[in-house]
Amino acid sequence: MATPVMADTAATTDSPRTHETAPPPLWGRLVVTIREMSRPKRTILLVEDETSIREPLAEVLRSEGFETLVAGTVAQALEQARREPDLVLLDVMLPDGSGFDVCRELRRDSQVPIIMLTARGEEADRVVGLELGADDYVVKPFSGREVVARIRAVLRRADAPEAGEDDRPLEVADLRLDPAKREATLRGETLELSRKEFELLQLLMRNAGSVVTRQRLIDEVWDPNWFGSTKTLDVHVSGIRRKLRDDPSEPRYLHTVRGVGFRFSSPDEVE
């Protein structure tokens, strides 16, 4: 159903950003690092075929100071993505295919933040989107205020995921995670982790040997104001387990503490 997007966005102010002269992102060749994406003028690519949603939302984004690119098809989305937006808002049902195809294609060589625009009741869509590497989702019908709040939260995470944290590499047995390089390796092989998976793994490894509650994981990896399903956390934990080839019934690394949270093995617990 086409729902008008209300132009009810409150004036949320971001603190001024300092411009860093990072080398330009090498789209299609290297994974764009988080730092390289922090630019003073933020560009949002809005992929949505319903003009009754797209046009008012694009208007809200522009009025909030975002450079806004629009696309109504998978083909247009991939074309516009070459212009290196800072974030992609991605509808699922598109006339020439699925937003999931766009997500998958973008994730081949880019860590650009992606927020899926999903239909009410399509819980499975949200899980699929997150598994494909989307960062968050909003459920239709949504208000302009809600979308802008999510965009700012996701961009804030992308800009400063390690603010105030220590960047020393973390090691547990043959698993090594290097926060500075945003790289995790298992027995020397690089793990292909989504941004959220990486942040979760980092938080768990930093607290290796101690239980980290579900609430803390959600607060620190998503946002304290995030109100999505906690199922999202489980999807990401399953993703990490699969990539670590860790058996949940007999875990080497990642232990479930029922009703509380998760505990990563301490380095002296595993050989």
Residues that bind Ca ion (CB under 5 A): 49, 91, 93
Q: Which residues contact 162 (CB under 8 A, 6 or more apart)?
A: 179
Specify the residue, 91 or 136, whose C-beta has the smaller distance to Ca ion: 91
243: left (phi over 0), alpha (psi -120 to 50) or beta: alpha
**Minimum Å distance from CB 93 to Ca ion?**
4
Specify the residue, 51 or 213, whose C-beta has the smaller distance to Ca ion: 51
Alpha carbons 108 and 136: distance in angstroms, whole number:
18
Q: Give the residue among 111, 269, 122 at the shortest CA–CA distance from 197.
A: 111
Alpha carbons 147 and 46: distance in angstroms, whole number:
11
Question: Where in 2-104 does DSSP place strands (E)?
Answer: 43-47, 67-71, 87-91, 93-94, 97-98
Specify the residue, 49 or 67, whose C-beta has the smaller distance to Ca ion: 49
Q: Which residues contact 184 (CB under 8 A, 6 or more apart)?
A: 175, 176, 177, 178, 190, 191, 193, 198, 201
Which residue is nearest to Ca ion, using beta carbons? 93
**Minimum Å distance from CB 135 to Ca ion?**
20
**Minimum Å distance from CB 133 to Ca ion?**
20
- Can you read off the two tokens belonging to residue 221? 């990896």
Alpha carbons 95 and 97: distance in angstroms, whole number:
6
Specify the residue, 4 or 248, whose C-beta has the smaller distance to Ca ion: 4
Q: What is the largest CA-CA distance in the chain?
A: 58
**Minimum Å distance from CB 251 to Ca ion?**
40
Specify the residue, 90 or 184, whose C-beta has the smaller distance to Ca ion: 90
**Minimum Å distance from CB 90 to Ca ion?**
10
Specify the residue, 71 or 201, whose C-beta has the smaller distance to Ca ion: 71
**Minimum Å distance from CB 117 to Ca ion?**
8
**Minimum Å distance from CB 208 to Ca ion?**
43
182: left (phi over 0), alpha (psi -120 to 50) or beta: left
Specify the residue, 7 or 93, whose C-beta has the smaller distance to Ca ion: 93
Alpha carbons 251 and 240: distance in angstroms, whole number:
12
